[in-house]
Amino acid sequence: MQDLRLGIEDGATQIVGRDRYVELLSTLSNIATSMEKFATEIRNLQRSEIGEVAEAFESKKQVGSSTMPHKRNPITCEQICGLARLVRSYASPAYENAIQWHERDLCNSAGERFILPHSIILSDWIVYKTNNVFKNLKVFPERMKKNIEISKGLPMAESLMTTLISKGMGRGDAHELMRKISLEAVKQNKSLKEVFLVENKKLKLLTGKEINDALNPENYLGATDKIIDCIIRRFN
């Protein structure tokens, strides 16, 4: 128990209090849910119309679809999502089993013979498969850039708004200006920059360099790198 860093039952009776099992199965459900969250994001990003990442095929003979040969389905991520839902379903009977008559009826016994081993085995498998997915994940940065370009700069409206605020414009005024410009860009099917330049010429708000810097997505990542480095250091 010391090697596994397990505690002891302070108020032991004939059985272990089932709140222990509730905590265990809730933790496993939470882990499985996190893995499903990651897998769901990969599944979405692998869709043909997005195509920013893709789950690697495990072999040259792996079939993407039984009816559509061109498809490359994220089958491992789909498996992770399906099994995670099963792990979560086991948390519910664990809560029910915590309620016992005089601390010793056997309603819990039959269910626990399934939910405890199955939850542990499935959670282990889910983490293992998620690790494999990320070790071999295909990432397509050029497609990411292309998708940003398709948006005609609209996601950078906030960046322009922030730049205007830093130059002295009130936040409410900056927000309203960018709201109108964004709507006009959509209406005219033009880029955010094209419409903003028209307004900027009249109002003389920003220089050309300030506009280009504000519209460059690589300049608007915030503390992303620091956050990632912090997490990696913590778990290394």
Q: How far is CA 169 from CA 118, 159, 163, 197, 200, in A?
A: 59, 14, 9, 17, 13
The pLDDT value recorded for residue 26 is: 97
pLDDT of residue 192: 96
The pLDDT tens digits of the residues spanning 152-169 come to: 999 999 999 999 999 999
Looking at beta carbons, which pairs linking 27-34 to residues 24 or more positions away fall under 8 Å? 28/87, 28/90, 28/91, 28/119, 28/120, 28/123, 29/87, 29/88, 29/90, 29/91, 29/119, 31/123, 31/126, 31/127, 32/83, 32/84, 32/87, 32/88, 32/122, 32/123, 32/126, 33/84, 33/88
Q: What is the pLDDT of residue 180?
A: 96
The highest-level CATH class for domain 19-145 is: mainly alpha
Mean pLDDT of the residues in the chain: 92
172 token code pair = 């409410």
> What CA–CA distances, in Å, run from 60 to 39, 56, 64, 175?
22, 10, 11, 52
Locate the domains of the chain by residue range: 19-145, 151-219
> What are 100-121's pLDDT values in tens digits?
888 778 889 999 999 999 999 9
35 contact partners, CB below 8 Å, separation of at least 6: 80, 84, 126, 127, 130
Q: Which CATH architecture has domain 151-219?
A: Orthogonal Bundle (1.10)
CA-wise closest residue to 184 among 174, 172, 196, 175: 196
